[in-house]
Amino acid sequence: MSIRIRSANEKDVQTLVFLAEEFIPGETDDEKRIEVLKKALANPDYELLVAEIEERLVGFIDQWIIYDFTHGAKLSYIHNLYVSSKHRRKGVASVLLQKVIKNARNMGVAEIHVTTRFDNKLAINLYKKHGLMKEHLQLEKEFK
């Protein structure tokens, strides 16, 4: 099984929206996801990578690059990492994470941040395996 990682493009939008619904069901409608995804793809401080197996899109990871004056540096925030249930435990998430870390380093990023739920032990172990060790609390407020 060969995993191909590449940058997402406009041709991937429908499949990405389908995967996003699998990832976070009912969060919003397809039209809103498409609108936001197209805006993000046009932003030079956003990177969205997709994983393909046998020319089929099976997962994605994205990161935002921000300029933090308090650090005096660029920081990366991995916002989403998702692999379809059929393709989990095959190394897809690791390959995606390795590539985004490499890209962040090549962009001169000083730190990479990622969040996940406290009970998502598989994700926590994956991130730690790839060197993300410091733990902080992130709080959230929804405006719906």
pLDDT tens-digit series, residues 33-76: 999 999 999 999 999 999 999 999 999 999 999 999 999 999 99
Asked whether residue 20 is assigned to any structural domain, the reply reads yes
Q: What is the pTM of this model?
A: 0.93
Does residue 79 surpass a pLDDT of 80?
Answer: yes
Is position 139 within any domain? no
Question: What total of structural domains would you count in the chain?
Answer: 1
Domain span including residue 94? 3-129
Determine the Cα–Cα distance for residues 46 and 41; give it in Å rounded to an integer: 7
How is residue 91 written in tokens? 């190394």
Query: Residue 91 domain-assigned?
Result: yes
86's CB contacts (< 8 A; 6+ apart) are 58
* Residue 103, domain CATH: 3.40.630.30
